Amino acid sequence: MKHLKYLLGGFCLLLSLASVAQELPVFKQAIVDAKNSGRAFYEMSNVLSTSKTTPKLENAPRNVRYFNYNTEAIQELFRQEAGATEYIILLIKSGDGHIDWTLELAEVPASFYTHKITTSSGEEYTGSNARQRHYRGYVKGRAAESLVSISFYEDQMMGIVSIAEEGNYNLGKLEKDPQHAIYRDLDLPNPPSVECGTNLETTKRYTQEVLQNQQKSSATTTKCVDIYLETEYDVYQIKGNVNSVANHILGVFNQTATIYANENINMRVSQLHIWTTIDPYTNSTLCPNPFVTPVLQQFQNNTTSINGDLGQLLTFRHPAVGIAASFNGLCAANVDESLSFASIGSHQIPFPTFSWAVYIMSHELGHLLGSRHTHACVWNGNNTAIDGCGSCQEPAIVTAVCSNDCNNCPRPPAPTGGGTIMSYCHQNGVGINFSLGFGTQPGNVIRNSVANAACVNTCQSCALNLTITLPVTNGQTSNEEASNAITASNIIHNGAIANYQAGNIITLIDGFHGEAGSEVSLRNAPCNGPVITTQRTTQQTTTHQTNVVHNHLQLYPNPTKGTFTVSVPLSVKGEQSVRIGVYNLMGVAIMDMEVQAGAKVNVDLNGKPKGIYLVKYFSNKEVITQKVIYK
């Protein structure tokens, strides 16, 4: 039997926002600094327009407002050059003035898009920002008292807007209607209810030093906690395809990660594994608490390692219930201690209910990062509780199931402004206030855990896309990285070294050349990844002013099980033939041949070692490199 500690039962969720700290979190301060420096913000004023029709839906939230989603405005966002939409202003107004928001937002870090997506059917994909953008920020003029998370997709947007003293608004597409709705979650007449109990066993307590030390140094702000997410088969069945599952989960995770970013804790998805076939998580009992315990245990039994620091299994089988395995999830010797389970189902309600899912996911991860409930008798340096929202004031040392009327320390009143993420204040009507985040003491506990976790990597600092125009002169070394794409049109002079690394594609366009004696290394790999092509000395090339046709080099299927097709781009003007090559990671050519511009070439890797191969397109004007995965 694997070791198992039981923490959290279930929750329903209500949101609100206010700030307790004068110093802004890093991502909010970056927006303020961008404004103060005169940085251009891309303005989006017509993404949502008030709908003239009202859907006939039962149990609609009070004061709900309906909107139409402008897909052309989103396509225009996607068409913008790299860097032009790093900061945006999003205007959302209802025709009656009930909603009038100006949202100032920053795109998520480039590392947010570097996750891997795998399926139980053997498919594997690399994350990117293609046909999606994720943002976080605040309501204009209320940086300290609001928190906003927005995700844009081709056919929908989703997010949460939390404003102090108002509450928390869910924003998203209706379940079976293209119209979008915005409403305050306190106004939902029949919110998801939680009936499952809590089974606790722990001796976790905190020193005064940990409770008081905010750890807002680079020890937390430069680290990224990598999260492995796994979805049960029911999520795929309800969403219908891999792309829809990924969009929903990553959108909800953006909201979760925004809550942590508001605490100066960076969090990203390292891998999303989607069950597209029957999964091994067979327990079907929803309540009482035995539902969550066996499912977590099955997740542990099925998991020998994870691609990440913490792991979470997600399902739609219940609106709001969860459990985490320990308070010591980071760098645990036994992976069992790093796992959690969250049921985030919302499809039973036709309105977007992201706030419930975000609360569950954030709460469970908070346990793995070291925090106990705020109604536990372990806080304030004297083993008392922060709030009295739970039905039980949990004792400092728990060895048995907590009864509904226990009182192990003085019971504080429920906070009038809403509870924090690790509270049960959803149970007594005051709600969970997202602007309060985790609160000072639980936040300090979590920051301390991250700061002292030697296994947690630093965040990737490279840009999403990079355009290089400056020359590299004799004696200089230029090391440039981008998580997605690099486009270079510069000169590498004699005696200079240029090392360019991008996650997906490197394009050398008209104007780029390396003089004799220069060294150029082109690498397809994630930021801070290994070198996967060898350096080569380039010969001097002559450039001509021509019209470059920017068609993409296409590889399909990718990943491949043996054979794939290379669709060669149209060439530059006057060039009828080009060259393509296929190489392994050591730079050894598998195939090298001259082909006609616009041709389609079949490549057979059968008999070769499985792994990553590089496909290179050579013309007089550019070199394009992409990778193909042979599984």
DSSP calls for 271-325: EEEE--S--S------SSGGGHHHHHHHHHHT-S--SSSEEEEEESSSSSEEEES
Q: What is the DSSP letter of 221?
A: H
pLDDT of residue 217: 54
pLDDT of residue 461: 56
Residues 504, 628: Cα–Cα separation, whole Å? 10
Q: In this structure, which topology does domain 26-213+222-452 adopt according to CATH?
A: Collagenase (Catalytic Domain) (3.40.390)
Alpha-carbon Rg for the chain, nearest whole angstrom, is: 26
- Residues 64-108: pLDDT tens digits? 999 999 999 999 999 988 778 999 999 999 988 889 999 999 999
User: Hunting for tokens 């226990």 — which residue is that?
Assistant: 406
Residues 85, 68: Cα–Cα separation, whole Å? 22
Which strand (E) or helix (H) includes residue 26?
helix 26-36
User: Hunting for tokens 């307590």 — which residue is that?
Assistant: 205
pLDDT of residue 273: 97
Amino acid occupying residue 527: C
pLDDT of residue 346: 63
Closest CA to 134 of 80, 86, 79, 73: 86
Pair type for strands 321-324 and 266-274:
unpaired
41 conformational bin, left if phi > 0, alpha if psi -120 to 50, beta if neither: beta
Amino acid occupying residue 37: S
Which strand (E) or helix (H) includes residue 363?
helix 354-368
Query: 125 and 143 in contact (C-beta within 8 Å)?
Result: no
| Pure H helices in 372-472 | 440-451
360 conformational bin, left if phi > 0, alpha if psi -120 to 50, beta if neither: alpha
Residues 439, 352: Cα–Cα separation, whole Å? 26
Residues 448, 601: Cα–Cα separation, whole Å? 54
pLDDT under 50 in the chain at which residues?
A: 1-21, 195-199, 286-288, 290, 401-405, 529-551, 571-573
Q: In this structure, which topology does domain 554-630 adopt according to CATH?
A: Immunoglobulin-like (2.60.40)
Residues 310, 446: Cα–Cα separation, whole Å? 14
pLDDT of residue 9: 37
Residues 6+ apart with CB under 8 A from 588: none
pLDDT of residue 286: 46
Q: How far is residue 456 CA from its own chain's centroid?
A: 17
DSSP string, 58-80: TTPPTT-EEEEE-HHHHHHHHHS
Where are the domain boundaries for CATH 2.60.40.10 in the chain? 554-630
DSSP string, 453-506: -TTPPBPP-SEEEEEE-S-B-TT-EEEEEEEEEEEE--EE-TT-EEEEEESSEE
Residues 588, 611: Cα–Cα separation, whole Å? 14
pLDDT of residue 402: 42
% of the chain at pLDDT higher than 70: 82
27 conformational bin, left if phi > 0, alpha if psi -120 to 50, beta if neither: alpha
Where are the domain boundaries for CATH 3.40.390.10 in the chain? 26-213+222-452
Amino acid occupying residue 592: D
Which strand (E) or helix (H) includes residue 521?
strand 518-524
pLDDT of residue 620: 67
User: Is-cis flag, bond preceding 189, omega within 30?
Assistant: no
Residues 285, 240: Cα–Cα separation, whole Å? 24
Please indicate, yes or no, whether the overall pTM of this predicted structure exceeds 0.75: no
